[in-house]
Amino acid sequence: MRISLEPMDDPEVTQKVPLGEQIRRITQEKGSFANLTEEGLAEDIQSPVETEEKPAEEGLEEGPRQKLIAAVRSALNESALSLDFVSLLISGLRPQSGASSMSPALKRQVPIGTLGCDTIKKEQTSINKTRPGAGWKLIALENASKHLRGSSVRLQGEAEKEARFWNELLQTVMGGEVVVKTNRGKMKGLNVKYGFEESGSTYFGTGTGKLIRGADGSVVFKTKSTQEKKIVRVRSFSGDGEEVGCGFIGAEAQTELQTARNYLFEEELFFLLQQEARTLGAYRVLLESDTIVCESFEGRLEIDFVEESMALGPKDQLAQLLCALLHLILCYYYSENLKKQQSTPEPLESTKKSDQPRIYSILRPLLSHMHQAKLAARAVRLAEMILPNSKIDSTRSIADETVSDILFTPPESHVRITAETEINVLVRSPLSPGAVFIARCDGFKAELYDLTELEMWLKGKALAS
Partner 1 sequence: MSNAQRAQTFLQHIDQATERLLSRQLALVRIAAEQEKDTPTMAVETAEIEASATSIVRAVEDLLVVTRSLKEAWILGQIRQDLPEPTEDEIQNRKDALKQVFEAISKQSG
Applying CB under 8 A, which of residues 136, 214, 358, 440 lies at the interface with partner 1? 136
Report whether 190 contacts 173 (CB < 8 A): no
Beta-strand (E) ranges in 42-83?
none
The verdict on 415 binding partner 1 (CB under 8 A) reads no
Minimum gap (Å) between residue 290 Cβ and partner 1: 25
Minimum gap (Å) between residue 199 Cβ and partner 1: 12
Side-chain-side CA neighbours of residue 367 (13 Å): 25
From first CA to last CA, the distance across the chain in angstroms is: 185
**Residue range at the interface with partner 1 (CB under 8 A); choices 27-35, 246-254, 321-329, 454-462:** 321-329
Measure the CA–CA gap between 422 and 442, rounded to whole angstroms: 8
Nearer to partner 1 by C-beta: 374 or 459?
Answer: 374
- Other CB atoms within 10 A of residue 259 CB: 19
* Per-residue binder mask for partner 1 (CB under 8 A), 99-128, x = binder: --------------------------x---
Nearer to partner 1 by C-beta: 369 or 428?
Answer: 369
The verdict on 315 binding partner 1 (CB under 8 A) reads no
Measure the CA–CA gap between 42 and 23, rounded to whole angstroms: 19
Q: Count of H helices and E strands in the chain?
A: 13, 14
Applying CB under 8 A, which of residues 15, 35, 183, 342 lies at the interface with partner 1? 342
Report whether 99 contacts 115 (CB < 8 A): no
User: Angle 174-180-185 (CA atoms, 0-180°, nearest 5)?
Assistant: 155
Angle between helices 317-342 and 363-386 (to 10 degrees): 130
Q: How would you write 9-27 as a 3-class SS string?
A: CCHHHHHHCCHHHHHHHHH
**Residue range at the interface with partner 1 (CB under 8 A); choices 1-9, 70-78, 316-324, 384-392:** 316-324
**Residue range at the interface with partner 1 (CB under 8 A); choices 16-24, 75-83, 109-117, 402-410:** 402-410
CA dihedral 117, 119, 125, 131 (to 10 degrees): -130
The verdict on 166 binding partner 1 (CB under 8 A) reads yes
**Residue range at the interface with partner 1 (CB under 8 A); choices 253-261, 278-286, 355-363, 394-402:** 394-402
The verdict on 359 binding partner 1 (CB under 8 A) reads no
Applying CB under 8 A, which of residues 21, 57, 162, 307 lies at the interface with partner 1? 162
Minimum gap (Å) between residue 246 Cβ and partner 1: 15
The verdict on 393 binding partner 1 (CB under 8 A) reads no
Give 6's contacts (C-beta < 8 A, 6+ positions apart): none
Measure the CA–CA gap between 286 and 302, rounded to whole angstroms: 9
Measure the CA–CA gap between 162 and 169, rounded to whole angstroms: 10
Applying CB under 8 A, which of residues 49, 173, 310, 385 lies at the interface with partner 1? 173
Judged by CB under 8 A, the chain residues 214 through 273 that form the site for partner 1 are none
Nearer to partner 1 by C-beta: 227 or 394?
Answer: 394
Minimum gap (Å) between residue 208 Cβ and partner 1: 15
Minimum gap (Å) between residue 191 Cβ and partner 1: 11
Judged by CB under 8 A, the chain residues 273 through 302 that form the site for partner 1 are 296-297
Measure the CA–CA gap between 278 and 267, rounded to whole angstroms: 17
Buried b (16+ CB within 10 A) or exposed e, 410-444: bbbbebebebeeebebbbbbbbeeebbbbbebeee
The verdict on 419 binding partner 1 (CB under 8 A) reads no
The verdict on 23 binding partner 1 (CB under 8 A) reads no
The verdict on 132 binding partner 1 (CB under 8 A) reads yes
Report whether 323 contacts 317 (CB < 8 A): no
Which residues would be at the binding site for partner 1 (CB under 8 A)? 125, 129-130, 132-134, 136-137, 139-141, 143-145, 147-148, 151, 155, 158-159, 162, 166, 169-170, 173, 176, 178-181, 190, 296-297, 317-318, 321-322, 324-325, 328, 342, 366, 369-370, 372-374, 376-377, 396, 398, 400, 402-403, 406-407, 411
